[in-house]
Structure 1
């Protein structure tokens, strides 16, 4: 079916050979972006010079001293401003590349070419943007207004938004305690699902601890004929617990797909890959909220989930809107100077954050920091994964047993259908307003509860 669907976009033999020879050249924009190494001026904290780089920026932005936050923000993004013409060339270059390929392949637009590869309609992209950037954006503005109140600032700048609103929880967990909590969090899925989770523990599918030379991060990987093994770096904090249940979501999805589909249909697309992991994470944090030992602890978990939602169901659609506008400029052969791009990005950020947040003068150049703009319409998939997961969890927690059954069937389906059909049969049609309403109302309910706790 996929091969036949692509037939209208195939060229004749000579043209295909020419396109193949152009491929290496077309990747130059991404290669230059990846090869750039910036050097940032140190940040002064309590009289001491501290190293600023991509890894430490977020920690500086969480510092309670506003001078430290502002200094870090300025030292970081003034480097992007200094090389703005280089970054403008690479970013416009990748947009022009996507526009070129969509044109020669006879697609209506770069967006149409991208969603064709994902086997979803363009309507889905615009549905996600409309819900997040228009219909429900007021909820994000309300959250930022609350932040301004809690922080007690006359003026709230965008570099102030990462300051924690509540004290972090210093709880530590053993591997055994993690599995106890995971089993209780995922109990709605029944004993067969939990049996796979516990096989992962008993049969040592997981490489837990950091060791010298071990790769950072966490991953679930395997083949059709092996178990889905997990690599992680467990240090016993809440993030370790959350990472474990996230990766187990991927592993169970892979296990059920491999055991219920033949090889050709077992591999699910990236479009639906984050659903299972995010459902698990969301069930975990709801469990932690329900079993918190104090108001402060409960507020911490709610705040963690609010921030997670902000990043995925509000921030990513703003990124997607910016990327789409650049693709349209490239398609229409419009000029794409650094000033045009940074002015647009600054304008979108102001609209996105709302009137309670003042934009720093360097915010426009922060668009050059985002690698996802080089991934050809990737960012909105994060929003879809989170939205679907929140809708599924909301229904499960209200006792919808049919939703549980539909979701487990989705995990067993691998890639035998298009992403939209898979999700529709899981009870969460991504073209239906209901799942977005459920997801954003989940955020609103959390925000209401958080407001009561902190006030």
Structure 2
């Protein structure tokens, strides 16, 4: 497509079918008015949750209202994402967004009231009232947080201060996205181009060493100039997490982050330890990369360069679907049939159009299809994105089909597992069937880079996070120089002696927005490791592997994530999943060395 089409110029067969949710805006408006009338009834339960029957009544009404609100919300947002310039859908989305905050206030009493009841009384009521039994896990999950819930006044005070406490993240975002500029560099054709955070990723992959070196030095040079400000904002953010965990009577910020989902602290610390025990694999990768790129010396700015370039192949959408279906054959006909019906029934919005939101996602509600937004551009990366997003959607399909409304949503810890399992099966399939040596090498490098950036790199981030939180928890101050030194030392340890750890990299910590979301990044690595373990068992045809995996998909949020994975045969409290990923990394290194 030389010129981007308008939304109405795209054929219906390439669009998702949202008319299944609401035929028109009038129907949406009618439902929205009904919701506003019904939802206020939730407030009538305040102060009345004194027995099992009233709690059960509350659950029933809350489900009815929440499902309607969710459907209205999903429809408005999906329509807006089709064409963000459409003022009708802008106002629809804005209307529902504003209302959702009001709706949340109607149910704010629920958790404090449940927590005010005696544990023994609640246990007796669950045993007495048959209809409450399915809510046992949900209620016990609320009760276990009792030691960390504060008085009503304290909770209100913290809620009122939450906006102020988010300031460090807001400051980092505005400084790095709006205020920082990186000047100009010469591109591969000798043209002067402005360097931005957006185009840096393509410059750092450039085959021209001078281009990637210039981009690297220019970008991090600007961060270096602002390192003291960025260090102050990061320290303030970490102190906020530490303050919050202390106020809520947790032993540490790490415990405050993991305990609500019942994730043992060992899962985090052990992941870091296992990766540390296997850093020789990453050192070996650096050595091989240096050799394949024909470099006398390898620098930090050489890490992202593909070891081989192949001509771009055009892969039409239907061909992409067939490639993914072939790759996912080991998952069995039931899974493939769901995938095919998703493609045929209008789950997917395929091509880019003017005003359409960029990127890709999978999203929907309990009563809608698990929709997929793509901006498919006929490249191999788009085929991988299709496999990834359909992994999420089929996870949602199974969990909504098998679980009640309250247990249909899975946690973030589990979210990336299904999508990454699909990607893992796809790349295995592509490598296995490829006969052209150049293409095979390219694909092997793709998977190696996935593991390097998702497992090794994210666990290096996790190690840095643990160091910063624990140091500040002990009352030891951290300056920009301390952050720089810690980051430099980690890079030396992770990448080994073969690479030159350029001084510019020392300030890289200041560029990572994830450090403003408490202990978030390790989940990329654990999710990838769990997916690797699943795909390995499935590909080896291990007895019951597919059924166990589907059991994981069907479990939704009916238990804590560690238990859901353990029941499916992947024990994240052991070294096995991450070690399996490293074993795969080593196999790929063996292939690439041949």
Give 3-state SS (helix, strand or coil) of 1:423's partner: helix
Using the alignment, how far apart are the partners of 2:477 and 2:579 within structure 1? 38
SS of residue paired to 1:55 = helix
**TM-score, normalising length: structure 1:** 0.97
Distance 2:547 2:302 in 1: 43
Q: 1:169 to 1:136 in 2, by over 3 A?
A: farther
- Residue 167 of structure 2: aligned partner: 28
Deviation at 1:118, TM superposition (A): 2.9
The structural deviation recorded for 1:22 is 2.3
The match for 1:155 among 288, 291, 297 is 297
Given the alignment, which residue of 265, 274, 282 partners 1:140? 282
Aligned equivalents of 1:245, 1:256: Cα separation in 2: 16
| Alignment counterpart, residue 560 of structure 2, candidates 418, 422, 436 | 418
Of 259, 263, 272, which aligns to 1:116? 259
Give CA-to-partner distance per residue, 1:6-56, whole Å, 9 cap, x none. 001122233323322321211110111111121111111343201211111
Equivalent residue for 1:362, pick from 498, 504, 518: 504
Q: Counterpart in 1 of 2:228?
A: 85
Whether 1:205 and 2:347 are equivalent positions in the alignment is: yes
Counterpart of 1:47 in structure 2 is 190
Tell me, yes or no, if the aligned pair for 2:310 and 2:442 is still in contact at 8 Å.
yes
TM-score by length of 2: 0.75
Q: CA RMSD in A?
A: 1.1
1:182 maps to what in 2?
A: 324
Please say which structure displays the higher CA radius of gyration. 2
Matches within 5 A, 1:195-274: 195-274=337-416
Cross-structure match for 2:250 = 107
2:157 to 18, 26, 31: 18
Whole-Å separation in 2 of the counterparts to 1:118 and 1:443: 30
Verify the 8 A CA contact 2:444 2:588 in the aligned structure 1. Answer: yes
What whole-Å deviation, never above 9, does each CA across 1:394-427 have from its counterpart, x for those lacking one?
A: 1111111311110011101100010000000111
SS at match of 2:197: coil
Tell whether the 8 Å contact from 1:61 to 1:69 is kept in structure 2 after alignment.
yes
- For residues 251 and 163 of structure 2, what CA distance do their matches in structure 1 show? 24
Q: Give 3-state SS (helix, strand or coil) of 1:401's partner.
A: coil
- Paired residues in the alignment total 451
Structure 1 residue 169 displacement after superposition: 4.8
Structure 1 residue 201 displacement after superposition: 1.0
Distance across 2 between alignment mates of 1:167 and 1:365: 30
1:325 alignment partner in structure 2: 467
> Which sections of structure 2, spanning at least 5 residues, go unmatched?
1-139
Partner deviation per Cα, 1:208-227 (whole Å, 9 max, x = no partner): 10111111110000000010
Question: Could you tell me whether the CA contact under 8 Å between 1:329 and 1:335 is conserved in 2?
Answer: yes
Q: Which runs of 5+ in 1 are unaligned?
A: none
Distance in 2 between residues matched to 1:83 and 1:158, nearest whole Å: 21
Aligned residues of 2:145 and 2:260 also touching (Cα < 8 A): no
Q: Does the aligned pair in 2 maintain the 1:394–1:442 contact within 8 Å?
A: no
1:168 CA drift (Å)? 2.8
